[in-house]
Amino acid sequence: MSHVTGLRCRECGREYPIEPLNVCDFCFGPLEVSYDYDAIAHVISRESIAKGPLTMWRYEDLLPVDGANAVDIATGFTPLIKAKNLGRVLGLDNLYIKNDSVNPSYSFKDRVVSVAATKALEFGFDTLACASTGNLAGAVAAHGAKAGMKVFVFIPADLEEGKIIGTAIYGAKLVAAKGSYDDVNRLCSELADTYRWAFVNINMRPYYSEGSKTLGYEVAEQLGWRAPDHAIVPAASGSLFTKIWKGLKELSDLGLIGQAHTKMHLIQAQGCSPIVEAYRQNSLHVRPIKPNTIAKSLAIGNPADGFYALKTLKATGGRAEAVPEEEVIEGIKLLAETEGVFTEAAGGVTVAGLRQLANLGVIEKNEVTVAYITGNGLKTQEIVRHVANPLIIEPNMESFEAAFMAAGGPRS
Amino acid sequence: MANKKRIRFTFPQQLITEPVIYDLGHKFKVVTNIRRAEVREDMGWVVLELEGTEEEIERGLKWVTSMGVRVDPVSADVIEG
Ligand SMILES: Cc1ncc(COP(=O)(O)O)c(C=O)c1O
Ligand SMILES: [Zn+2]
């Protein structure tokens, strides 16, 4: 059962009823969901959660929809892996990987969209929509299919084929807009004003973004009901980062874990690091930039939650780091070769940032550290194509042995 | 047809002291209504509502952009990864 009391403006505090609305009419600030935490405290316990399904819906009491009607394709409760090998390379004894790349549509976006689709049905919408460069598109298309809704996905015309197919397969209507990123962005925000559709990341945003809190809850539960000492999170809009912290704080305020003391570290790739730049300037206001990065899923130049991400950095004593573009691929390879997990560019950013923090001595050897791997490598194979250099041989023993020896033999 | 648009302007340092919003309201048939703002030495942003015909707002925003001010929809970037 949902314990939402309404929507509230994060800037001026004005209250609004539970509606498909994301901006305050008065100050144009963003709206956030409010809960009746006293009511939640009465019904929730570690035991009640443990009795729930092995999906993100085990935390339904802390989500802004009625879990009984969830649009559920078994998103969440993804593995938390003790990363001994990667930890050895980085000099960390208590390193964990939260492998969220194995969600149904292969990214953490399934969490936010599962909530948004459920809320959209509650509101009576028959169409689910989004503007996306990949991961969100797939998640919206998959959940829309499950919900029996019409789906419209708007993409920039130059998107890679893998992502287009990974969305179209679910029967979604794809619209490829020609033009610059800014043009497409502006068009989509106008569409949301004009059509009575549930745009997951626009008019559904207050509900949608709450889905990311489950990445905080799960990690705490999987660590045996405790918050990590450090969390390493990749950021585009900054919403995921902000909501993981909100999730940990809620558990701590409800007494389900001890004091949440996690240092929240935010990572971006150099070619799109407006939040890191503001952090370095010791400012709470992000100056918009034009992204130019290999990490396309993180390419947001004007992050909606930049301000709140910066406040979270300050509140938790975490650091914001930008990683050089060339280290993104190294990060992807390092994780694959040490832990057997193939992530996309966003995960490469996380691992490169983790390495940077370890090198800086920000993380102590014994501290419990969780790196969030939020997307799957099979979606962005083109950026690591160069790793595939098979030995080409004739199908006989001599040919194999000649090639094998030429390649360095048993020592290689 | 009159309509309203919610917009965010981001000013680079050299334009902070320029009366861009005043000029927008005088050069074009656009009513400007500021809702939130912050101005510092090195940059400033303003969230405002514009009221006017579609064409006039469009022309006004083209001019603001040509001045070097960044213009974004109020909900920031809408396209996500
Ligand atoms: C794989 C992946 N990781 C992380 C993010 C960052 O999320 P946010 O926009 O909430 O910062 C995104 C999408 O934007 C993503 O696709
Ligand atoms: Zn407000």
pLDDT in tens, chain A (412 residues): 789 999 999 999 999 999 999 999 999 999 999 999 999 999 999 999 999 999 999 999 999 999 999 999 999 999 999 999 999 999 999 999 999 999 999 999 999 999 999 999 999 999 999 999 889 999 999 999 999 999 999 998 888 788 899 999 999 999 999 988 888 888 888 898 889 999 999 999 999 999 999 999 999 999 999 999 999 999 999 999 999 999 999 999 999 999 999 999 999 999 999 999 999 999 998 988 999 999 999 999 999 999 999 999 999 999 999 999 999 999 999 999 999 999 999 999 999 999 999 999 999 999 999 999 999 999 889 999 999 999 999 999 999 999 999 988 886 6
Residues whose CB is less than 8 angstroms from the CB of residue A38 and which lie 6 or more positions away in sequence, other chains included: none
Residue B40's domain is classified under what CATH number? 3.30.70.260
Within 10 angstroms of residue A110's Cβ, the number of other Cβ atoms is 29
How far apart are the C-alpha atoms of A227 and A220, rounded to whole Å? 5
Residue B81, in any domain of the structure? no
* Torsion from C-alpha of A373, A375, A380, A384, nearest 10 degrees: 10
Q: Please report the atom of ligand 1 found closest to the CA of residue A344.
A: 1
Number of structural domains in chain B: 1
Q: Do B77 and A296 touch (CB under 8 A)?
A: no
Contact A247, A214 (CB under 8 A): yes
Q: Tell me if A374 CB under 6 Å of ligand 1.
A: yes
Tell me whether A105 touches chain B (CB under 8 Å).
Answer: no
Instruction: Give the CATH number of domain A80-106+209-386; options: 3.40.640.10, 3.30.70.520, 3.10.129.10, 3.40.50.1100.
Output: 3.40.50.1100
B36 in contact with chain A, both atoms CB, cutoff 8 A: yes
Nearest residue on chain B to A153, alpha-carbon basis: B79
Assigned domain for B47 exists: yes
**First-to-final CA distance of chain B:** 35
pTM: 0.95
Task: Please judge whether A29 and B78 are an interchain contact, meaning their C-beta atoms are less than 8 angstroms apart.
Answer: no
Interface residue B4 vs chain A (CB under 8 A): no
- Angle A143-A144-A147 (CA atoms, 0-180°, nearest 5)? 85
A234 lines ligand 1 (CB under 6 A): yes
**Nearest CA-CA distance, residue B40 and chain A, Å:** 10
For testing contact with chain B, the best of A109, A202, A281, A287 (most B CBs within 10 A) = A287
Q: Is the CB of A138 under 6 A from ligand 1?
A: no
Produce one character per residue of A308-335: b if its CB has 16 or more CB atoms within 10 Å, e if not: bbbebbeebebbbbbbebebbbebbebb
Domain that holds residue B55: 3-76
Determine, yes or no, domain membership for B44: yes
